[in-house]
Amino acid sequence: MAQNANIARSTYEAWNDRDFDRFAEVLAKGEVIAMGSGDRWEGSGGARQFAEMWSDGFPDGRIELRAITEADDTVVVEFTGRGTHTGTLRSPMGDIEATGRPLELQLCDVWSFASDGTPTQVRTYFDTASMMAQLGLLPQPAAAGATA
């Protein structure tokens, strides 16, 4: 696996290990952007805040990598996040108090790297409506083909 993909992989391993120093170090000169909302977390402090936000909300949370693809200065990571919402999720939309519900979320991150291998940006994509529905904060969508 190529160098940039290994750097990206190391952050997911750091999150699973709850090693937020290592997580923040990798993104010290970069930013994390939540696509959809446009919220940004910049530098190592922002990276730590982003990582801890998810860990605080889902203390038993784990990331399972499904696919990592590298091309030039871009790495795409597809993964599944699983955990139980037993803590407060301090989101940019406000605090979401613990619901006690399990969550399984499909995510995709797109990493950009400088020519020296420094991560400059991570754009994270996930279905917020699915997350909110699983947490009981939105109605569950009807099954495909179902009628009212």
Question: Does 146 fall in a domain?
Answer: no
Note the pLDDT of residue 138. Answer: 84
Sign of CA dihedral 6, 16, 57, 29: negative
Question: Does 41 fall in a domain?
Answer: yes
- Parent domain of 67: 3-134
Note the pLDDT of residue 144. Answer: 58
Question: Does 141 fall in a domain?
Answer: no
């909300």: which residue's tokens? Answer: 57
Question: Does 143 fall in a domain?
Answer: no
Note the pLDDT of residue 147. Answer: 59
30, 46 Cβ separation under 8 angstroms: no
Count of domains for the chain:
1
Question: Does 108 fall in a domain?
Answer: yes
CATH (domain of 36): 3.10.450.50
86, 59 Cβ separation under 8 angstroms: yes
Question: Does 142 fall in a domain?
Answer: no
Q: 120-147, pLDDT tens digit by residue?
A: 999 999 999 999 999 999 876 666 565 5
Question: Does 64 fall in a domain?
Answer: yes
Note the pLDDT of residue 148. Answer: 55
| Closest-CA residue to 29 (of 91, 125, 122) | 122
Q: 1-48, pLDDT tens digit by residue?
A: 489 999 999 999 999 999 999 999 999 999 999 988 888 999 999 999
Question: Does 113 fall in a domain?
Answer: yes
Q: How far apart are CA 13 and CA 63, in angstroms?
A: 8
Provide the whole-model pTM.
0.89
Q: 34-90, pLDDT tens digit by residue?
A: 988 888 999 999 999 999 999 999 999 999 999 999 999 999 999 999 999 999 999
